[in-house]
Amino acid sequence: MPDFAEFGSREKEGWANGGIVDAYIRHFVPITDHVGNYIAGNHIFAQDKALDLCCGQGTLTASMLDKGANVSGLDFSPEMLEKARRAAPDAEIVEGDAMAMPFDDAVFDKVVCNFGMMHIPDQPKTLSEIRRVLKPSGEFIMATWGGPATSPAFAAVFGALKAHADFSAAPSQPDLFAFAGREYAEATMAAANLDLAKHETVTSEWVLEKPTELFDIFLTATVGAGMLIRSQTDEVIVKIAASIAETVSTKFRNGPKFHVPVTVAVISAKAC
C-alpha cells in the first residue's frame, strides 16, 4: 500500500485550522447535509445504536438523534468536535482515530461515514475497524464525491488541475474518487468482510454568485485539494483559477447566478 503518512499529518493539521473548518461548513455543508439527510432518512431508525464516523460539525449526528437512534460521533479534529458537541448535545462525542477506534467489538447496528473516508490515509484498515465495531449483520453507509466523469463541479476543478498543476509538488494522497467506482468499492469492502448492498448516485449543486467562487471553495475550504493548489507556483495558481472560472462562466450560468452540479456516491454494505 502507498505511504500516505504525510498526507495524514497534513489532514490533522489542516482540520485543526479554524479558518478551513469555518470555510468548509459555509461552502460544503449545504451539500453534505443534503446527502446526510438522505442517509438518515433511508438507513437510520429508532433504537439503532449508530456511529457517525468522521462526524465533523455534527449535523448528521443530530439528524440521527432526531430519528431516535442512540448515537456516538468520532472525529480527529478538536475544532469540529467542539461544533459537534453543540449541534448534538445528547450524543457521545469522542476524539479519536478512524484507523484505531476506541470502541469495543460488535457494538453498533449502523456505522455512517458521510464524506469522511477521503480524509483517512489507511482506508482498508478503517474498513476493517468498521467491520470490527459493527454487530453481526450490521450496516455500513458512506458517501463520497463522484469523479470528474460524472460530476461537472469536479470536472471543472480537476480538469484545471490536470492541465496545469504539478501533482508531485504535494504529498501523495488516496484517490479522492476511488469509492465512487462500484467495482473498487465492492472489492475493497469485501476484503474487510463487508458485503456491498447498494451503490447509488445522489445529485446536488453549488449555487455561486461569481464564477471565481468555485476555485475559492477548493482553495480555502479543503485540505487535500487546497494543499495541492498552494504547492504550485503563483503563475500556475493563476492559470488554475482562470481555467475553473472560465468553465463555470461558460457552462453553468443560470440567470444572475451559476449553478454547478455535483454528484455523490452513497454506498451501503452489510457485515458478513
> What tens digit of pLDDT does each residue of 193-231 get?
999 999 999 999 999 999 999 999 999 999 999 999 999
Beta-carbon contacts of residue 114 (< 8 Å; ≥ 6 apart): 32, 35, 36, 39, 52, 54, 56, 60, 142, 143
Residue environment code for 99-117, b if the CB has 16+ CB neighbours within 10 A, otherwise e? bebebeeeebbbbbbbbbb
Task: Please tell me the predicted confidence (pLDDT) of residue 1.
Answer: 65
Locate 15 and state its grid cell.
482540520
Task: Please tell me the predicted confidence (pLDDT) of residue 2.
Answer: 79
Beta-carbon contacts of residue 256 (< 8 Å; ≥ 6 apart): none
pLDDT at 89 over 80: yes
Closest CA to 267 of 183, 150, 192: 183
Write down the architecture of domain 5-151+173-208+262-271 according to CATH.
Answer: 3-Layer(aba) Sandwich (3.40)
Beta-carbon contacts of residue 158 (< 8 Å; ≥ 6 apart): 148
Confidence at 135, pLDDT banded by 50, 70, 90: very high
CA atoms lying within 13 Å on the CB side of residue 216: 10
The pLDDT of 82-107, averaged and rounded, is: 98
The pLDDT of 44-50, averaged and rounded, is: 97
Domain-wise residue ranges, the chain:
5-151+173-208+262-271
Mean pLDDT of the residues in the chain: 97
